[in-house]
Structure 1
Amino acid sequence: MKTRGRWRLSVMMGLLYAVQGAFWPLLGVHLSELGIDGRWRGLIFASQALAATLMPLGAGQLVDRLMPTQSFLVAAYSAGTLLLAALASGGITGGPALCATFLLYFAIIMPTHSLSSSLAMRNLDDPRREFAAVRLWGTIGWMAVGWAVSGVMLALNGGRVPSVSPGGMHEVFWIASGLSAAMAVYCSTLPNTPPLAGETTGRANLRKGVELLRERDVRVFLITTFGVFLTIPLAYQVVPGYLAARGMPRPWIATAVSINQVPEIIALAAMPWLLTRLGYKGTMALGLGAWTLRYLILSLHPPLWLAVGVGVLQGVGIACFSIGGQVFLDGRAPATHRASVQALFLVASTGLPSLLGSLAAGEWVRRAGLGADAWVFVVPCILNGALLVYFLRGFRAQPSISGRPGAAVSQIDADTPQRQHTRRGAIACVGDLTTESADG
């Protein structure tokens, strides 16, 4: 794909992640300042995971069979803009009302995360080599908006650093609403990405999904993903409050959390090299190891500077395991059902496991307080360590050409992902036998 085309997709990723990055890192502190107790706070965070469990597969089927992907993105972000503006107005208060509003918002928005990835991969000639370079702009967008939010909060307070505001942080939702409106407008300019599956029946779609799950590597990857994402909510619910309790000024929390994205950008830029040298197995194992090490260090109650600095390992985990896994799944998916397979990943990651993890984290905050003790990180450290062992023993990255007519038959290293070359405008099939292409 020409450079100009890649930049169009990169801007899409930057805006998409900037919208949620404007408010998500500070949401836990915002809810605390509004007086929302830990149980409702857990339910509000879980609303994202519940929406990611219920909605993406249906949305994936919609764009695979009936609706251009870019049209869905325009509609979703137009509606999301209105809901974010309602949250910014301050008129929605109380745990139940906030939970219902966030559930509606995420039900609309969560499918766009997997659909944006499938749209990008459909419009790239070589997603294995090009997708990471496109996706890293999502990380840059998330990181940049964190710095922007800190600057706006300081400017609104005349350069002072208030420790708490009983009214919450409504300004971050105004920023998110503006970015959402820009995203809706921009998506209308994206390349036309029409459905490919046609009028296939629901039974046929289910059969294709079952066939994919029969592959050992896919099963091992999805089981590992489920376990890992049980622990991810701690990074968003507990860590910001943990930093605040350790003396971090509230306007700087978003900036401190954004440090996590620096190595993520580096890892995404190096993704083609990592996949070539380490293969899928080595790359994803590197991400799992990074998450395990981060929780281990946090469980030892480190000083504030180290608690902030160790966040860089979160970025390595997201880039190597989550994004590497998206590219892996794209390589296993039938060309006509790629959006649905990306939606399956969203359900197995940001969906049900994040729902359960968010409820557990909210209950912990309710019992232990917002600045939860460092012992909360022991359990995810042990779980991620066990999952790393399971993944290393079970994942083999064997080549597969299932559902890919015309795939090359030459045998290449089974642990090195490959792709069949296609020209722009054709169906971009990812395979493991040919040369060349995914959250938090």
Structure 2
Amino acid sequence: MKTTTQIQLSLMMFLEFFIWGGWFVTMGIYLPNTLKTSGGEIAMAYSTQSWGAIIAPFIIGLIADRFFNAERILGILHLIGAFLMYQMANTTDFGAFYPYVLGYMIAYMPTLALVNSVSFNQMNDPAKQFSFVRVFGTIGWIVAGLVISYIFHWDSEEGVANGLLKNTFLMTAIASAVLGVFSFTLPKTPPKVSKDQKISVSDILGLDALKLLKDRNFLFFFLASILICIPLAFYYQHAGQFLGEIGVANPAAKMTIGQASEVIFMLLLPFFFKKFGFKKTLLVGMLAWTLRYLLFAYGNAGELAFMLITGIALHGICYDFFFVSGQIYTDSKAGEKFKSAAQGLITLATYGLGMLIGFYVAGKITDSNIISEGQHDWNSIWVFPAIFAAVVMLLFAVFFKNENVEYKE
């Protein structure tokens, strides 16, 4: 791969995740403080990610894979996203905000697959080359949080009080427009299949991989993947709101510690996989979810702030040890015939169904623990996902029988 191509792909990844990190974390602070939303309404806003994940395969399978170059669709979707993000910044109530965020996530979620397609199409050895490109996406997410907290101070107590968090949407709109235009300069990535080739809904959603559920072990893993997304949704939806509400300074920047740890534990994953095996690696990931929420439940913005930072830093273990390990396990169980279908099914089950349930539950739990206007009983809120993750971990430990899974870099 040419150096210029690697630079192009790295910049594409940087902007792709700078955009997501530039508004998704702080939306949980923006909505209750600026638009005065309830926990249920915050859940509706965050669940648009799940609806986007459910609809994305149709956009990829019916359009991107058959009719147009991936880089062109990527550009069009980000230009549409720039417009919708600008509209989100200028809404004054949740009723007007919701249609725009729903439209935005329907446009954005397919781009996650498109940037991978554009990257893989230029690589002769993706196993070695992709990580050096993808890491710039994590860097982009981290930079977005640092810019919000340390350069513009939009998430400071004063910034939130003055409604400055709306600027995160404007910043994202600009970045989306830049990536939209830049996408048309990316290397050509033509459609994968002929427009005349028949493709079914089953193919698009990966439903052929349902046959794997006949395997008892894979069935328990599949169910655990859906269930663990319920505590995951609490983190995505309410961690930023929680940190801001209890007075933690620069919450957007603090949240980037989670992305930094993701990079570190991604590098450590092969070691854990080889030394402890798949089942123990997944159990460590589930245990980390329980520990994280207990740290959130009993930490504070004062002397016990280190507990909150530790909880955020556990994100690398929580995500990598469960979800990345799960992708490797799915790949090993599927075989050549069902590889793509199986990954599509797991993505649909987790980011689609699991997170949709999780966002709803998180909103209900949060609304049921309001102390006064703008104040919540966060101890009770965080104890729920802690116990839930512990129960899932115990059930998985009992019912999943250990098996050898080869780690492929």
Which category of TM-score, normalised to the shorter sequence, fits these structures? 0.7 to 0.9
Q: Measured at CA, do residues 73 and 231 of structure 1 come closer, stay the same or move farther in structure 2, by a change above 3 Å?
A: same
2-structure distance, mates of 1:396, 1:188:
48
Which residue does the alignment assign to 1:170? 166
Give yes or no for contact 1:244–1:371 (8 Å, CA) kept in 2: no
Q: Secondary structure at the match of 2:92?
A: coil
Q: Measured at CA, do residues 272 and 12 of structure 1 come closer, stay the same or move farther in structure 2, by a change above 3 Å?
A: farther
Cα drift, residue 238 of structure 1: 2.4
Q: Secondary structure at the match of 2:24?
A: helix
**CA offsets 1:104-148 (integer angstroms, 9 cap, x no match):** 111111122244345545554444455444433222211111001
Do structure 1's residue 150 and structure 2's residue 149 form an aligned pair? yes
Which residue does the alignment assign to 1:373? 378
| Equivalent residues in 2 for 1:103-122, closer than 5 Å | 103-121=102-120
* TM-score normalised by structure 1 residue count: 0.78
2-structure distance, mates of 1:240, 1:102:
18
Which residue does the alignment assign to 2:246? 246
**CA offsets 1:225-254 (integer angstroms, 9 cap, x no match):** 2111111221133222322232224xx110
Q: Secondary structure at the match of 1:311?
A: helix
Do structure 1's residue 356 and structure 2's residue 357 form an aligned pair? yes
Which residue does the alignment assign to 2:140? 141
Do structure 1's residue 94 and structure 2's residue 99 form an aligned pair? no
1-structure distance, mates of 2:4, 2:216:
38
Give yes or no for contact 1:56–1:110 (8 Å, CA) kept in 2: yes
Which residue does the alignment assign to 1:32? 32
Cα drift, residue 267 of structure 1: 1.7
**CA offsets 1:378-429 (integer angstroms, 9 cap, x no match):** 222222223334444555686xxxxxxxxxxxxxxx42134xxxxxxxxxxx
Q: Measured at CA, do residues 126 and 380 of structure 1 come closer, stay the same or move farther in structure 2, by a change above 3 Å?
A: farther
**CA offsets 1:254-313 (integer angstroms, 9 cap, x no match):** 011111122111122344555555555454443323222212322334523321332100
Give yes or no for contact 1:220–1:395 (8 Å, CA) kept in 2: yes
Amino acid at match of 2:184: S
Do structure 1's residue 186 and structure 2's residue 176 form an aligned pair? no
Give yes or no for contact 1:33–1:168 (8 Å, CA) kept in 2: no
Structure 1: runs of 5 or more not aligned: 399-413, 419-435
Amino acid at match of 2:362: A
2-structure distance, mates of 1:217, 1:6:
39
Cα drift, residue 354 of structure 1: 1.5
**CA offsets 1:170-223 (integer angstroms, 9 cap, x no match):** 111111112112222333344444444541441772663334544555444332
Structure 2: runs of 5 or more not aligned: none
Range 300-309 or range 17-26, more displaced: 300-309
2-structure distance, mates of 1:122, 1:332:
25
Give yes or no for contact 1:220–1:391 (8 Å, CA) kept in 2: yes
Give yes or no for contact 1:140–1:265 (8 Å, CA) kept in 2: no
The Cα RMSD (Å) is 3.2
Do structure 1's residue 237 and structure 2's residue 237 form an aligned pair? yes
Give yes or no for contact 2:208–2:341 (8 Å, CA) kept in 1: no
Cα drift, residue 153 of structure 1: 2.5
Q: Secondary structure at the match of 1:415?
A: coil
The percent identity for this pair of structures is 26
Q: Measured at CA, do residues 365 and 227 of structure 1 come closer, stay the same or move farther in structure 2, by a change above 3 Å?
A: same
1-structure distance, mates of 2:265, 2:3:
21
Q: Measured at CA, do residues 396 and 342 of structure 1 come closer, stay the same or move farther in structure 2, by a change above 3 Å?
A: same
* Structure with greater helix percent: 2
Amino acid at match of 1:381: A
Do structure 1's residue 385 and structure 2's residue 390 form an aligned pair? yes
Pairs aligned (count): 396
2-structure distance, mates of 1:126, 1:292:
38
Q: Secondary structure at the match of 1:167?
A: coil
2-structure distance, mates of 1:215, 1:319:
24
1-structure distance, mates of 2:229, 2:262:
17
**CA offsets 1:56-75 (integer angstroms, 9 cap, x no match):** 22134233444443333222
2-structure distance, mates of 1:4, 1:271:
30
Which residue does the alignment assign to 1:78? 79
Which residue does the alignment assign to 2:223? 223
Give yes or no for contact 1:31–1:168 (8 Å, CA) kept in 2: no
Q: Measured at CA, do residues 374 and 214 of structure 1 come closer, stay the same or move farther in structure 2, by a change above 3 Å?
A: same
2-structure distance, mates of 1:114, 1:291:
27
2-structure distance, mates of 1:267, 1:216:
29
Which residue does the alignment assign to 1:46? 47
Q: Measured at CA, do residues 164 and 3 of structure 1 come closer, stay the same or move farther in structure 2, by a change above 3 Å?
A: closer
2-structure distance, mates of 1:125, 1:417:
20
Amino acid at match of 1:16: E
Amino acid at match of 1:300: Y
Amino acid at match of 1:110: M
* TM-score normalised by structure 2 residue count: 0.83
Instruction: Return the match for 1:416 from 398, 401, 406.
Output: 406
Amino acid at match of 2:380: W
1-structure distance, mates of 2:131, 2:220:
23
Q: Secondary structure at the match of 1:360?
A: helix
Q: Measured at CA, do residues 386 and 133 of structure 1 come closer, stay the same or move farther in structure 2, by a change above 3 Å?
A: farther
2-structure distance, mates of 1:243, 1:75:
35
Amino acid at match of 1:416: E
2-structure distance, mates of 1:395, 1:12:
39
Cα drift, residue 31 of structure 1: 0.9
